[in-house]
Amino acid sequence: MSNARKPERARTVSLVAATILAAFVIFVAGVDTGFRITTGFGVWGIGSSIARSTVADMQSALGAEPVYFLQPARGPGAGVTVNDIDDGRLVMIAGFFDGSNGIRLMRRDGSIVAAWSLSYTALFPERSHLLDIAPQTDWNTDLHGTVLNPDGSAVTNFDYAGAVKLDRCGGTEWALNAPAHHSVERSETGGYWIGGMRFLDPANMADTFPPLTSQKDVPYFRDDQIMKVAEDGRILDSRSVTRILYDSGLEPLLTANGFSFYPNGHWNKELVHLNKIAELPAALAPAFPEFAAGDLMISLREHNLIAVIDPATWRVKWHQTGPWKRQHDPEFAPDGTISVFNNNTYRLNLGEFDRSDPNSPKVSTILRVDPRTGEARKVYGGAPGQEFLTTIRGKHEIEPDGGMMITEFEGGRAFQVDASGRIVWEFINRYSGAFVAEITEARVYDPSYFTVTDWSCPGS
């Protein structure tokens, strides 16, 4: 991918943005001088940051530069840079391609089998129910959880903005106008498990979770949901994660977060941060005698918490906090352990636009925890040749050979390692010399998974 041929409007927007920024710089410089004299503090840092954000929003809104999809490149390379595996399998990658959100299904050599390009504003013209988190342009929201179906259709969500199902040629089968977010996983009983969310209005609270919902002067509380969505896009069930935890006697865990809960205090209006729902498949259930096929595992980032829930009673059967930090994407492993994408860092090391410093220590790891003993061990990362870093997001998929496909979000990179930890396949989503574009999910599919024999589409 390259930005060498940006549209002419990019230069126009840059000139307008530069004019605004210059005027703002002059204004802030004057205010800063007076403010320092009277208070001893400067507003230059705050003001210049606001100015840069304003320019970035203008560039994004007018289609000049996809600011919020770009990360500083961590090294050279573009496309498939390592291909030491000849298994004939196909790789699905979701992210930002050729100026839009998209999904690509490719062969190991990078040649495209199928591709989907998605316009959020076209798929979701009505979005007032999303209140102030509603994306206003196609470049203000990105894809997150993504799966492909045997018939070649794709189900994905725009983060906190809606879920869609597209047929193999990109036609819309359904669009779920609900704040879907993070992961999408197929259920063995049909349909999909998708993260959802509801807004709790303090003036007319549908459900309460004191002291979390006792905060004053908050427009709403965000309460994450476990949604079961049917094959036809209907919401079959939606359960509050916060309610599940309260009903399971885990209120002390949710309030053990360092907050004092003073009457005039302020804290996050997001009650919990759900970033994964995984279903225990029947084939792996014998390896987990303490669980049952169909049990759901969830990950709550802000609490460093992983829990397993019985969907028949909606009660927590098992939970553990750490040793992972700000984890994502737990998976049931064939050996009876739980595999965890351990981000192992905090977003304090992100700069403007959530951009990662290319020189930040690459400390992310993959851990395996025994749910019976709580013992965790590192199986990848933190060793020479295994360095990677994803401060926010990140995915991993356990492969049949014992290796993993890993999505390094901020690196714009997807790479597969074998059971020994050797990188056998790598793809870098290059945008320009200085930047890569994000990758939000990578999965590997055996061709036999698909019932499709001809991927061609009309007009392709």
In this prediction, residue 47 carries a pLDDT of 45
Confidence of residue 18 (pLDDT cuts 50, 70, 90): very low
Average pLDDT in the chain: 89
For residue 57, the Cα-to-chain-centroid distance in whole angstroms is 21
pLDDT-wise least confident of 19-23, 300-304, 432-436: 19-23
pLDDT at 287 over 90: yes
**Which helix H or strand E contains 340, and what residues bound it?**
strand 338-342
In this prediction, residue 262 carries a pLDDT of 87
Structural contact between residues 9 and 17, judged by C-beta atoms closer than 8 angstroms:
no
Written as six digits, the tokens of 422 are 């050797």
Instruction: Give CA angle at 197 (195, 201), nearest 5°.
Output: 170
In this prediction, residue 57 carries a pLDDT of 55
CB count, 10 Å around CB of 151? 10
**Alpha-carbon distance 439 to 412, whole Å?**
5
pLDDT at 364 over 90: yes
pLDDT-wise least confident of 219-223, 267-271, 280-284: 267-271
Phi, psi torsion values for 256, nearest 5 degrees: -90, 60
- Measured CA to CA in angstroms, residue 101 lies from 2, 95, 116, 344, 459 at distances of 15, 6, 9, 28, 20
In this prediction, residue 267 carries a pLDDT of 82
In this prediction, residue 45 carries a pLDDT of 43
Which stretches does DSSP call E strand in 149-294? 154-158, 162-166, 172-176, 181-186, 192-200, 221-229, 235-240, 274-279
**Alpha-carbon distance 279 to 220, whole Å?**
30
**Alpha-carbon distance 316 to 310, whole Å?**
6
Question: In this predicted model, what pLDDT tens digit does every residue of 26-59 receive, in sequence order?
Answer: 444 444 444 443 334 444 444 444 444 455 555 5
Instruction: Specify the 3-state DSSP secondary structure of 321.
Output: strand
**Alpha-carbon distance 141 to 120, whole Å?**
8
Q: Determine if the peptide bond prior to 211 is cis (ω within 30°).
A: yes
In this prediction, residue 64 carries a pLDDT of 79
Q: Let me know if 429 is exposed, middle or buried by CB neighbors in 10 A (0-12, 13-18, 19+).
A: buried
Question: In this predicted model, what pLDDT tens digit does every residue of 158-204 receive, in sequence order?
Answer: 999 999 999 999 999 999 999 999 999 999 999 999 999 999 999 99
Query: What percent helix, strand, coil does the chain show, rounded to 5?
Result: 20, 35, 45
In this prediction, residue 116 carries a pLDDT of 98
Q: Determine if the peptide bond prior to 371 is cis (ω within 30°).
A: no
**What number is the average pLDDT over the span 402-428?**
97
- Measured CA to CA in angstroms, residue 152 lies from 203, 234, 267, 454, 455 at distances of 45, 20, 44, 10, 8
For residue 368, give the nearest of 324, 325, 405, 426 by alpha carbon: 324
Measured in residues, the chain has a length of 460
